[in-house]
C-alpha cells in the first residue's frame, strides 16, 4: 500500500516560489549552523519494522524555547524504509533537504552534510513555526516525489549539543564511505558523466558536470550518486552526458559536455574545462564547500572552505568569494569545488594539480591531512601537507611567500601559472 500525501500540514506557506527567498539580518529570529553552531543532515535507510511512518520528534529545545538572536545546534536525521530503497539512494534523498526546507516561507537553508545552515525569520516564528515542521515537510515530500522507493519516513530533529555531535560523528563516517565509493574510478573508465542542475533555482546558468574524479562542488553528489539519481528519476536533475570527443585532454574539455551545458545553461555557457581553474573553469554556485583562487605571486593557488570565516591571501573571505563567484558564472582564476575533490587525482591537473596548493585554512588541512600526504606522495612530494601554509603562517601573499620559499614548496619551481 502506497501512501499518498497531498497536504503539507505546517503553519506556513510552502512551495518552490519561496526557494530563492533570503532571510537577512533585520528579519532574522534565530539560526542553526553556519559556523555558529553545528548543523548536520543525515539520511539513512532503515528496516521496515524499525521506524514508524510520519513520526517526527524534536529532541531538545525548539523555536518556542529560543529568544530573538539565539543560535541552536541542529541535527536532522531522516530514516527511510522501502522495499525498493537502497543505501545508494541515501545521498540523493539527503540532498533534497536543501531545496525542500527552502520551500518553507520565511525559512532559509544553505549548505549540506555537516556544514548546513538554517535561518528562521521573525515572520515564520510569528506564524508558529516549529522545527517539527521540517520533519513534516520531509515526510510529505519524500512520499510525494519518491513514491517508487519510499514506504516509510521517520524524522528526528536533535537540538542538544551532545546529540548533534554524536549524529555528526556518525554522519561523517557515512560521508567518508560515500566519497570513497568513487575513489578507485577514473574519468577514463567511463564514457558517461552526469549533469546536476539542482542548483539552477539559485544560479540559473549553473550546471555541474560530475565525473568519477570530480565530485559535485557541494560535496554531496558524486558520480555514483548522480547515476543512482538518474535511475530513480530518469527525467530529473541528473542526466547522463556522453563525453564524446576529447577536445583537450590536459584541461579536460569534452565535446559532449560542451553541447550539453550550452543547452542546459540556455546558451549562457558554451564550454568549460574539467581540470582547470585558470582557463574556462566549471561554473560555480553558492553551495560549494570550498572556493579556490589563484595566488599569482606564489605561482600557486589557495582554497578556502565555508567553515573558515577569516581573511585569506586572495584578499577575500569565503563569503565574499561565494558572493562574487557563486551566481553560476565561469570565473577564470576561481573555481568552486568539494573538499573531497582537492585530493582527487584530476584536481586542477591542467594547471599543475594539487602541488599548486600553497595555502588553505588549518581546519581544512587537518581534516584531509592524510589524503593530502597520500596524493602529494603520488605526485612525488613527501609530507606535502606540511608545505601548505595556513592562517598561522599568514593571510596575505607577502606573508606566506618567504615561508613557502624556506620550505621549498614545489609550486615555486613549476612553470608559470598564467602563461
Give the binding site for Zn ion (CB under 5 A): 199, 285, 287
C-alpha cell at 184: 578507485
Q: Which is nearer to ligand SF4, 337 or 409 (CB)?
A: 337
Q: By the 8 A CB rule, do 336 and 218 touch?
A: no
Angle between helices 132-145 and 90-102 (to 10 degrees): 120
CA terminus-to-terminus distance, the chain: 63
Smallest distance from the beta carbon of 142 to Zn ion, in angstroms?
21
* Site size for ligand SF4 (CB under 6 A): 13
Taking CB under 6 A as the criterion, the residue among 149, 287, 368, 401 binding ligand SF4 is 287
C-alpha cell at 137: 515537510
Smallest distance from the beta carbon of 249 to Zn ion, in angstroms?
28
Partner from ligand SF4, Zn ion, none contacting 196, C-beta within 5 to 8 A by type? ligand SF4
Q: Which is nearer to ligand SF4, 124 or 220 (CB)?
A: 220
Classify the C-alpha dihedral 294-297-303-306 as positive or negative: negative
Q: Which is nearer to Zn ion, 321 or 411 (CB)?
A: 321
Q: Is 257 exposed, middle or buried (0-12, 13-18, 19+ CB in 10 A)?
A: buried
Residue 285 sits in the site that holds ligand SF4 (CB under 6 A):
yes
C-alpha cell at 369: 591531512
Partner from Zn ion, ligand SF4, none contacting 410, C-beta within 5 to 8 A by type? none
Q: By the 8 A CB rule, do 351 and 343 touch?
A: no
Partner from Zn ion, ligand SF4, none contacting 417, C-beta within 5 to 8 A by type? none
Q: Which is nearer to ligand SF4, 92 or 295 (CB)?
A: 92
Q: Which is nearer to ligand SF4, 211 or 276 (CB)?
A: 211
Q: By the 8 A CB rule, do 415 and 355 touch?
A: no
The whole-angstrom separation of Cα 50 and Cα 152 is 10
Smallest distance from the beta carbon of 203 to ligand SF4, in angstroms?
8
| Residue entry with cell 531522516 | 78
Tally the C-alpha atoms within 13 A of residue 324's C-alpha that lie toward its C-beta. Answer: 15
Q: Which is nearer to Zn ion, 43 or 322 (CB)?
A: 322
Per-residue binder mask for ligand SF4 (CB under 6 A), 86-125, x = binder = ---------x------------------------------
Buried b (16+ CB within 10 A) or exposed e, 147-160: eebbbbbbbbbbbe
Smallest distance from the beta carbon of 326 to Zn ion, in angstroms?
8
Residue 171 sits in the site that holds ligand SF4 (CB under 6 A):
no
Q: Which is nearer to ligand SF4, 210 or 342 (CB)?
A: 210
Residue 178 sits in the site that holds ligand SF4 (CB under 6 A):
no
Smallest distance from the beta carbon of 238 to ligand SF4, in angstroms?
8
Smallest distance from the beta carbon of 202 to Zn ion, in angstroms?
6
CA distances from 419 to 193, 233, 279, 296 (A): 30, 44, 11, 11
Buried b (16+ CB within 10 A) or exposed e, 277-314: bbbbbbbbbbbbbbbbbbbeebbbbbbbbbbbeeebbb
Smallest distance from the beta carbon of 124 to ligand SF4, in angstroms?
24
Smallest distance from the beta carbon of 322 to Zn ion, in angstroms?
10
Partner from Zn ion, ligand SF4, none contacting 58, C-beta within 5 to 8 A by type? none
Partner from ligand SF4, Zn ion, none contacting 220, C-beta within 5 to 8 A by type? ligand SF4
Q: Which is nearer to Zn ion, 195 or 299 (CB)?
A: 195
Per-residue binder mask for ligand SF4 (CB under 6 A), 190-229, x = binder = ------x-xx--------x-x-----xxx-xx--------
Q: Which long-range contacts (CB under 8 A, 24 or more apart) does 377-385 make?
A: 378/345, 379/353, 379/354, 379/355, 381/355, 381/410, 384/354, 384/355
CA distances from 275 to 238, 253, 321, 349 (A): 21, 8, 20, 5
Smallest distance from the beta carbon of 207 to Zn ion, in angstroms?
11
Smallest distance from the beta carbon of 165 to ligand SF4, in angstroms?
25
Q: Which residue is nearest to ligand SF4 (CB)?
A: 216
Q: Which residue is nearest to Zn ion (CB)?
A: 199
Buried b (16+ CB within 10 A) or exposed e, 92-107: bbbbbbbbbbbbbbbb
Q: Where are the beta strands (DSSP E) in 237-283?
A: 240-242, 246-248, 253-254
Q: Which is nearer to Zn ion, 159 or 197 (CB)?
A: 197
Strands 28-33 and 71-72 turn out to be: parallel
Site of interaction with ligand SF4 (CB under 6 A): 95, 196, 198-199, 208, 210, 216-218, 220-221, 285, 287
Amino acid at each position: 500500500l502506497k501512501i499518498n500525501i497531498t497536504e503539507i500540514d505546517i503553519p506556513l506557506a510552502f512551495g518552490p516560489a519561496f526557494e530563492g527567498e533570503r532571510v537577512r539580518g533585520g528579519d532574522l529570529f534565530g539560526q542553526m549552523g553556519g559556523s555558529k553552531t553545528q548543523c548536520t543532515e543525515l539520511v539513512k535507510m532503515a528496516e521496515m519494522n524499525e521506524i514508524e511512518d510520519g513520526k517526527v520528534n524534536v529532541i531538545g529545545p525548539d523555536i518556542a524555547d529560543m529568544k530573538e538572536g539565539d543560535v541552536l545546534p541542529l541535527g536532522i536525521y531522516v530514516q527511510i524504509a522501502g522495499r525498493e530503497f537502497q543505501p545508494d539512494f541515501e545521498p540523493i534523498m539527503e540532498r533534497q533537504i536543501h531545496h525542500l526546507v527552502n520551500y518553507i516561507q520565511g525559512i532559509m537553508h544553505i549548505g549540506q552534510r555537516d556544514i548546513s545552515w538554517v535561518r528562521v525569520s521573525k515572520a515564520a516564528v510569528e506564524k508558529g513555526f516549529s522545527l517539527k515542521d521540517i520533519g513534516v515537510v520531509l515526510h510529505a515530500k519524500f512520499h510525494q516525489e519518491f513514491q517508487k522507493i519510499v514506504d516509510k519516513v521517520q524524522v528526528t530533529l536533535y537540538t542538544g549539543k551532545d546529540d548533534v555531535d554524536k549524529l555528526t560523528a556518525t554522519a561523517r563516517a557515512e560521508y567518508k564511505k560515500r566519497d570513497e565509493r568513487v575513489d578507485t574510478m577514473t574519468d577514463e573508465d567511463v564514457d558517461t558523466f552526469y549533469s546536476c542542475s539542482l542548483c539552477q533555482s539559485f544560479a540559473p546558468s549553473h550546471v555541474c558536470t560530475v565525473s568519477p574524479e570530480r565530485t559535485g562542488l557541494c560535496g554531496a553528489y558524486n558520480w555514483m550518486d548522480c547515476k543512482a539519481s538518474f535511475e530513480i528519476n530518469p527525467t530529473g536533475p541528473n542526466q547522463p552526458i556522453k563525453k564524446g570527443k576529447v577536445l583537450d585532454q590536459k584541461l579536460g574539455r569534452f565535446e559532449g559536455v560542451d553541447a550539453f551545458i550550452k543547452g542546459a545553461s540556455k546558451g549562457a555557457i558554451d564550454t568549460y574545462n574539467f581540470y582547470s581553474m585558470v582557463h574556462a573553469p566549471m561554473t560555480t554556485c553558492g553551495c560549494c564547500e570550498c572556493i579556490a583562487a589563484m595566488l599569482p605571486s606564489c605561482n600557486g593557488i589557495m582554497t578556502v572552505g565555508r567553515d573558515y570565516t577569516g581573511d585569506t591571501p586572495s584578499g577575500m573571505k569565503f563569503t565574499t568569494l561565494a558572493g562574487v563567484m557563486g551566481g553560476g558564472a565561469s570565473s577564470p582564476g576561481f573555481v568552486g569545488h568539494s573538499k573531497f575533490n582537492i585530493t582527487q587525482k584530476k584536481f586542477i591537473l591542467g594547471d599543475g594539480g594539487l602541488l599548486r596548493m600553497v595555502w588553505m585554512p588549518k581546519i581544512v588541512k587537518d581534516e584531509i591531512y592524510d589524503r593530502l600526504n597520500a596524493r602529494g606522495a603520488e605526485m612525488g612530494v613527501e609530507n606535502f601537507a606540511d608545505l601548505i601554509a595556513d592562517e598561522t603562517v599568514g593571510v596575505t601573499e607577502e606573508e606566506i611567500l618567504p615561508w613557502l620559499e624556506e620550505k621549498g614548496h614545489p609550486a615555486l619551481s613549476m612553470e608559470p601559472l598564467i602563461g
